[in-house]
């Protein structure tokens, strides 16, 4: 038998379709400009919204933590891997989010899986937006609760789901705060009102909203003024915060429960000191350098307007995530290649990350880009798209 013949067959199909991609190596720090294949290009594909991946305060905090506490923690949180800095950071994070408590997981992905898979039983129902992140979907795959998917941001369909499930013990409604592939914001006020009417729990995944929306980047709950009305806020420390990790912010009883039952928390080692210290420094930056968030939004407006003026379809995005819809998978990859030739790194996103026929270049501007960087990108988009007959 030839091992992996079944995988090779599929890979050949991807190659024929033009969607097989080696991983792109970054040969420099992550920043507004990066070095790829020996060439300096403008980075338009990172989640480094505020430029914190290489902020001096984060680097310094990480280095000092290594000096004082070492490179690793040597255990899971529940056995011997909880350091004082973990607990202190979580207390600060809870204060920042205006919640009773917060708990950090290894990543945003494991936060979602940990929560959704652990807090429900077969007497319950999870009700989820169809465009929610893969980690929410995987959490749902692991729960014993019944599932109900509602059409994207469709409040009538959500209400229908809430009406149909009134016999169950607990209903958990889950939504992304900002949808990661389209950049639209969930109608959280309406979701909260419906959940209050039908007595359901609300969970929002603010991976792309933490550090981006709300005062000092507190997220969608703050953005909409809904403090105290959203039961579970998940966030990531890997995107705007610039480091690595995820967290769950909410009631103390939720934190107590997750510590005992969330499997990624129980069975995977805690964050190294450098990670926690850098995240803590990032919170200082959010509180003390709010001009970074202002600059992010200024750049967002400039770039989005530029793309729309050129005639690109940006799918109604309302946030720094700005998709440029191309449609065909192979064409999106070609556009990405043409952009690279012109000094811009903007990765094509194709099926299965987005639906078939909705292939796109997903751009994310950051606070670190200059107006010149962004105008350079707009010019590259115009030339490349004209060459390929997209414009």
Which active-site residues does the annotation give?
A: 180, 208, 239
Part of the chain binding ligand PLP (CB under 6 A), chosen from 9-17, 203-211, 314-322, 377-385: 203-211
Shortest distance (Å) from residue 204 CB to ligand PLP: 10
Count interface residues toward ligand PLP (CB under 6 A).
Answer: 14
In the complex, which residue's CB is closest to ligand PLP?
Answer: 108
Q: Is it true that the peptide bond before 352 is cis, omega within 30 degrees of 0?
A: yes
**Of residues 104 and 361, the one with the C-beta less far from ligand PLP:** 104
User: Where do we find the tokens 């946030």?
Assistant: 319
**Of residues 83 and 109, the one with the C-beta less far from ligand PLP:** 109
Q: In the structure encoding, which two tokens stand for residue 94, read together?
A: 């809870």
Give dist(CA 109, CA 33) in Å, integer.
27
Part of the chain binding ligand PLP (CB under 6 A), chosen from 80-88, 201-209, 254-262, 299-307: 201-209
The site string for ligand PLP over 140-179 (x = CB under 6 A, - otherwise) reads ------------------------------------x---
Give dist(CA 337, CA 62) in Å, integer.
36
Beta-strand runs (E) in 304-370: 321-327, 344-345, 348-349, 359-364
**Of residues 82 and 353, the one with the C-beta less far from ligand PLP:** 353
Task: Please name the helix (run of DSSP H) or strand (run of DSSP E) that holds residue 312, with its range, or none.
Answer: none
Beta-carbon-side half-sphere exposure of residue 311 (alpha carbons within 13 Å): 7
Give yes or no for a contact between 254 and 172, defined as CB atoms under 8 angstroms apart.
no
Q: Is 211 among the residues that bind ligand PLP (CB under 6 A)?
A: no
Q: Is 135 among the residues that bind ligand PLP (CB under 6 A)?
A: yes
Give dist(CA 42, CA 373) in Å, integer.
7
Q: Is 272 among the residues that bind ligand PLP (CB under 6 A)?
A: no
Q: Is 314 among the residues that bind ligand PLP (CB under 6 A)?
A: no
Q: Is 107 among the residues that bind ligand PLP (CB under 6 A)?
A: yes
CA terminus-to-terminus distance, the chain: 49
**Of residues 178 and 385, the one with the C-beta less far from ligand PLP:** 178
Contact residue for ligand PLP among 55, 77, 148, 208 (CB under 6 A): 208
The site string for ligand PLP over 229-258 (x = CB under 6 A, - otherwise) reads -------x-x-------x------------
Q: Is 205 among the residues that bind ligand PLP (CB under 6 A)?
A: yes
**Of residues 114 and 306, the one with the C-beta less far from ligand PLP:** 114
Give dist(CA 366, CA 333) in Å, integer.
23
CB-based burial label for 5 (10 Å; 0-12, 13-18, 19+):
exposed
Nearest by Cα to 61 from 244, 273, 216: 273
User: Where do we find the tokens 């969607």?
Assistant: 19
List contacts with ligand PLP (CB under 6 A).
Answer: 107-109, 112, 133, 135, 176, 180, 205, 207-208, 236, 238, 246
């Amino acid at each position: 038998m030839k091992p992996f013949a079944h995988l090779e067959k599929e890979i050949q199909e991807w190659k024929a379709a033009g969607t097989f991609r080696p991983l792109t190596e970054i040969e420099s720090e992550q920043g507004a400009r990066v070095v790829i294949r020996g060439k300096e290009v403008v980075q338009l594909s990172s989640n480094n919204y505020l430029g914190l991946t290489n902020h001096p305060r984060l680097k310094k905090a990480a280095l000092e933590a290594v000096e004082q506490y070492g490179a690793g923690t040597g255990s899971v949180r529940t056995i011997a891997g909880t350091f004082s800095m973990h607990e202190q950071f979580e207390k600060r994070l809870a204060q920042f989010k205006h919640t009773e408590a917060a708990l950090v997981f290894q990543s945003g992905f494991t936060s979602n899986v940990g929560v959704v898979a652990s807090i429900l039983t077969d007497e319950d129902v999870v009700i989820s937006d169809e465009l929610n992140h893969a980690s929410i979907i995987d959490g749902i795959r692991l729960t014993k609760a019944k599932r109900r998917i509602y059409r994207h941001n469709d409040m009538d369909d959500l209400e229908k789901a809430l009406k149909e499930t009134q016999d169950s013990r607990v209903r958990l409604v889950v939504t992304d705060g900002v949808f990661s592939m389209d950049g639209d914001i969930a109608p959280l006020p309406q979701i909260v009102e419906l959940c209050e009417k039908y007595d359901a729990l609300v969970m929002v995944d603010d991976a792309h909203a933490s550090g981006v929306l709300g005062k000092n980047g507190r997220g969608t709950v703050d953005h909409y003024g809904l403090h105290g009305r959203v039961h579970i806020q998940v966030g990531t420390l890997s995107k705007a915060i610039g480091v690595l990790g995820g967290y769950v912010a909410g009631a103390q009883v939720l934190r107590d429960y997750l510590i005992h039952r969330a499997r990624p928390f129980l069975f995977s080692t805690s964050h190294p000191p450098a990670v926690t210290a850098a995240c803590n420094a990032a919170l200082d930056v959010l509180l003390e350098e709010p001009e970074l968030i202002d600059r992010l939004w200024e750049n967002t407006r400039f770039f989005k307007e530029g793309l729309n003026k050129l005639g690109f379809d940006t799918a109604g995005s309302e946030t720094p995530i700005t998709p440029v819809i191309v449609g065909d998978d192979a064409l999106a990859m070609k556009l990405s290649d043409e952009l690279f030739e012109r000094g811009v790194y903007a990765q094509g996103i194709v099926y299965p990350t987005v639906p078939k026929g909705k292939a796109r270049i997903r751009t994310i501007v950051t606070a670190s880009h200059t107006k010149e960087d962004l105008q350079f990108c707009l010019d590259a988009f115009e030339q490349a798209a004209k060459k390929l007959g997209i414009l």
